[in-house]
A and B are shown apart, each in its own frame.
With several copies, the nearest count.
Chain A
Amino acid sequence: MRYHSDPAERLNKKQIAKYATKFLKNNSIINLGIGIPSLCAQYITDPTILLHAENGVYGFNKFANEKNINPDYMDAGGNFLETNKNMVFFDSVESFNLIRGGHIDTTILGAFQVSKNGDIANWMIPKRGIGSIGGAMDLCANTKNVIVTMEHTTKLNEPKIVEKCEFPLTAVNCVNKIVTDVGVFEINYNSIILKECAPGWDVLSIQNITGVKVKCDKKIVFMDIDNV
């Protein structure tokens, strides 16, 4: 994917997902939202990382083969799961105790907009007028480490990282990191800090498609997308 003013290709969804997994710590428990985040699962190779789904399971790592599905083993995105010896099942009360209680270490989710103070809007498009909240508000409001994976701009190349979200918010002041198709950003003290650029990208090109002033570390690193 490349707009005419882009200095290089943007990453594809799989590359974004794969790169986001670089930021997961071992022995941690992770919740993956629908869309790009759900693609992360296949790139997590550390067996000490446990995947959690809102509907009452953690410890899964693979979707079931289509010929061998069982509706009793599903993730929150509606995908059927292959069972393994580390999986545990529980009800929705306990599942959200884990989320609200801060027992989930990291949540990776998509977004329509993220603001420089870490607000996220990911559940409703205003012109549609209705949307689905699901577990997103609980996850964003209560997880220690919130990573957003998304394309850097809308299809019209409009910024999704903005001064202030115009879309209805999912949670305030919660996003720690954003992995997009052009770079990796941290949110710190009300600032968007560019940490890594996609190959061939530079600060100025990224600034041009970002709705807020982007701060930088002394030395910008290129995303090493082949070695995650």
Chain B
Amino acid sequence: MIGGFGGSGGQPTRLMLALSKKKLKGLTIIGNVAGISETTGYGWPKNIKPVDQGIFFRTGIADKIICSFPVPASQNPKSPIENFWHNNKNSVEIIPQGTLIEKIRCAGAGIPAFYTSTGVGTIIENNKETKFINNKKYILEYALSADYALIRASVADENGNLQFRGTSRAFNPAMATAAKITIVEVDEIVKAGSLDPNNIHTLGIHVNRIIKRRKNDIYP
């Protein structure tokens, strides 16, 4: 799992760059908006060359993606994930965003499946169990977990408690609960007890490793 929403804010860019250099094969990537920044600049300041989840498909270490937004509206130029999809049509799974985040949340919350009206009457419903509840049709969706979550936070304390700024929270907290190992990239690490205990966005018990970024990293 790769945290954030898409765009530069909340994305664990340094962890992604490090991962992309590893000699690995066959990774499944789970993300939200995925692989569109490089071609469109989506969510990146204009003066910085974007990094996005397309990197795992350009370098070939990934062979599957589960996401909600893998291609830009414009058909040209083609993004790395669209190029990958052409030869691997069953390896790009596109899920409605609310269903995707709830599937991830449920994996962390011990809920194996839930019903939602999102996708009823569309191809999302194909081959899925449905049920009428109070005369309305719903689709049964299952929890989605991962071996690793790479996430990005603003600040961590020594106990691994995390806080996020603004819209950079997004998918990060839910992913932290849904992976066996959660690795977080932060701007700052502070002493235990220095964050307000009422305002911890991700509890430290979900965090396994913390990587502190250099000050003034070229990536936001």
A: residues with CB less than 8 A from B are 29, 34-35, 50, 53-59, 66, 69-76, 78, 80-81, 83-103, 119, 125, 128-138, 141-142, 168-173
Contacts and interface: CB of A to CB of B under 8 A. Distances in A.
A101 B177 contact: yes
A134 B68 contact: yes
A90 B82 contact: no
Contact of A92 (B40, B109, B119, B170): B170
Contacts of B69: 132-134
A131 B168 CA distance: 24
| Most chain B CB neighbours (cut-off 10 Å) among A59, A99, A119, A133 | A133
Given A54-B97, A71-B220, A93 B102 contact: yes
Nearest to A132: B69
Nearest to B67: A132
A212 to B, nearest CB: 19
Interface of B: 5-10, 32-33, 36-37, 40-46, 68-73, 75, 82, 85, 89, 92, 94-99, 101-102, 105, 107-111, 116-124, 154, 159, 161, 164-174, 177, 192-193, 197-198, 200-201, 203-206, 220
25 contacts: A35-B73, A55-B170, A69-B45, A70-B9, A71-B7, A71-B168, A72-B167, A78-B6, A91-B171, A97-B108, A97-B110, A100-B98, A100-B110, A100-B116, A125-B75, A130-B70, A133-B124, A135-B68, A135-B96, A135-B98, A137-B118, A137-B119, A142-B118, A169-B122, A171-B120
B205 to A, nearest CB: 6
A129 B117 CA distance: 24
A50 B10 CA distance: 23
A168 B110 contact: no
